[in-house]
Amino acid sequence: MIADSKPYTRHDVSFTSGDAGCAAWLYLPAGVRNPPVVILGHGLGAIREMRLDAFAERFAAAGIAAFAFTYRHFGDSGGQPRQLLSIKRQLADWDAAIAHIQGRDDVDGGRVAVWGSSFGGGHSITVAARHPELLAAVSQCPFTDGLASARALGVVASLRILPVVARDLAAKVRGADPVTVPLAGPPGTLALMNAPDALPGYQALIPPGESFVNAAAARVVPTIAMYRPGRSAKKVAMPILFCVSEHDTVTPPEQTLRYASSAPYGEIRTYEAGHFAFYLGEPFEQLVTDQLEFLTRHLQPL
């Protein structure tokens, strides 16, 4: 637990999802009884240590409890095999996180929001559409359309990855360890993201001394291509804030903005920063300020 003289305390928490446990941090605002909660989930293969704490700290300092978790199969969460990126399982992790928060007696389970970034930003749209009891949602530089992201990756790069997918699917049938592909790599290399800012952007989020595996089981590629969470925006029955990068090399902003405009209670903010710049420096300050205003308005912390 982190206490010191900070306006919050951070607690190490775990909750069960399916066949394993998810590791999480719960940030509780100091001196606030039954605060509202925002649940935070990260992007493609990322772990909560990669700057989710920065957002959580700011939310907690403003009186909103923050619950940042790592998906199964990654980081210090459980689940075998390792580095398995399953959309179905990650959405189940979100459901389990919400259920865990709703069952706690140190937060207000009736005032809950979800916050997702990148791939998690797509999940937050899907989750918000499935959970009308939520009061708000934040979708940051969201992955909204697998086909659009595949086009951004490029036809040649997409085709080059298919043999690796085939080898991993064969490994799955044999019960062998997954055949993996890098999450982020230099331009022209075989990776799920290979835009010029992808690898340095990912590396910039890893704290010194933190262990991070830049890989995911290749079998996820077809499901990513078919995942179009932006289509669920029109079904989101609560206020949802879309924070969109105007220069996004991973999740094309044009398609995201079209989906965002279909949300009945959607609010859209656009930023000059690129996809990976959202977590640091001035872009982070702009984002967290806008998000705090939005969450305070809809969660009404005391």
pLDDT of residue 3: 47
Q: Percent of the chain, pLDDT > 70? A: 96
Return the ∠ at Cα 162 (arms to 156 and 166), rounded to 5°.
170
Contact, 52 vs 114, CB < 8 A? Answer: no
Q: Cβ neighbours of residue 67 under 8 Å, at least 6 residues apart?
A: 13, 24, 25, 26, 27, 37, 38, 39, 40, 56, 97, 100, 101
Please determine, for residue 228, whether its predicted confidence score (pLDDT) is greater than 80. Answer: yes
Q: Percent of the chain, pLDDT > 90? A: 86
pLDDT of residue 65: 98
pLDDT digits (tens, 9 = 90+) for 253-296: 999 999 999 999 999 999 999 999 999 999 999 999 999 999 99
pLDDT of residue 160: 83
Distance CA 176, CA 162 (A): 19
Distance CA 255, CA 236 (A): 17
Distance CA 300, CA 302 (A): 6
φ, ψ dihedrals at 85, nearest 5°: -100, 100
Residue 156 lies in a domain: no
Q: Which two tokens stand for residue 150?
A: 């595949």
Residue 158 lies in a domain: no
Residue 237 lies in a domain: yes
Residue 130 lies in a domain: yes
pLDDT of residue 149: 73
Residue 20 lies in a domain: yes
Indicate the residue type of 31.
G
Residue 261 lies in a domain: yes
CATH number of the domain encompassing residue 21: 3.40.50.1820
pLDDT digits (tens, 9 = 90+) for 44-58: 999 999 999 999 999
Please determine, for residue 2, whether its predicted confidence score (pLDDT) is greater than 60. Answer: no
φ, ψ dihedrals at 105, nearest 5°: -105, 5
Of 9-23, 96-110, 185-199, where does mean pLDDT reach its minimum?
185-199
Domain extent for 58: 8-149+230-299
Residue 42 lies in a domain: yes
Residue 97: pLDDT band with limits 50, 70, 90: very high
Integer angstrom CA distances of residue 230 from 144, 148, 256: 4, 11, 7
pLDDT of residue 136: 98
Residue 216 lies in a domain: no
Tally of domains within the chain = 1
Please determine, for residue 189, whether its predicted confidence score (pLDDT) is greater than 60. Answer: yes
pLDDT digits (tens, 9 = 90+) for 23-44: 999 999 999 999 999 999 999 9
Contact, 115 vs 140, CB < 8 A? Answer: yes
pLDDT of residue 52: 98
